[in-house]
Amino acid sequence: MNSKSFKRVSDDTPVDITQLPADDKGLYYKEEPYTTKKLHQRLIITYSLRYALYQKTLRDKQVERAQRMLDSGNTKKNRKNPNDPARFIGTTAVTKEGEAADILHYLDENRIKAHFLICFLAL
């Protein structure tokens, strides 16, 4: 995603969202064409540094809760809630050679990064 094609909502000034100061409270947007087989639409993407920091705080707390679950050995098997911190816990039941092994639970960094990208793209 190109971070340089955003515009400030208040005055349409072009902005690179990676260069925003930490105390910025502005709202930014960009428009992208979104075409399916028969329908031509435009996708409006918004970004707010304040909301991104809020989401990061929530995600960090959930990762901490997932780490505490791992430390206590109390990992859930049913993860029905999409905001459950257990979604950041991965499970392995085979060795690198492919042999059966004990079940190992670990903090899955790839899931954490994927969640960050999904949140970033949802802004």
pLDDT tens, residue by residue, 74-114: 776 666 677 777 777 777 777 667 676 677 777 878 877 77
Measure the CA–CA gap between 15 and 19, rounded to whole angstroms: 8
The residue ranges of DSSP E strands in 1-123, in sequence order, are 6-8, 14-15, 27-35, 40-48, 89-94, 100-107
User: So what's the pLDDT on residue 118?
Assistant: 60
Indicate if the pLDDT at residue 35 is higher than 90: no
- 7 pLDDT band, cuts 50/70/90, is very high
CA end-to-end span of the chain: 12
Mean of per-residue pLDDT scores for the chain: 80
- As given in the structure block, the two tokens for residue 41 are 């639409």
Indicate if the pLDDT at residue 20 is higher than 70: yes
CA 6 to chain centre: 19
pTM above 0.75, yes or no: no
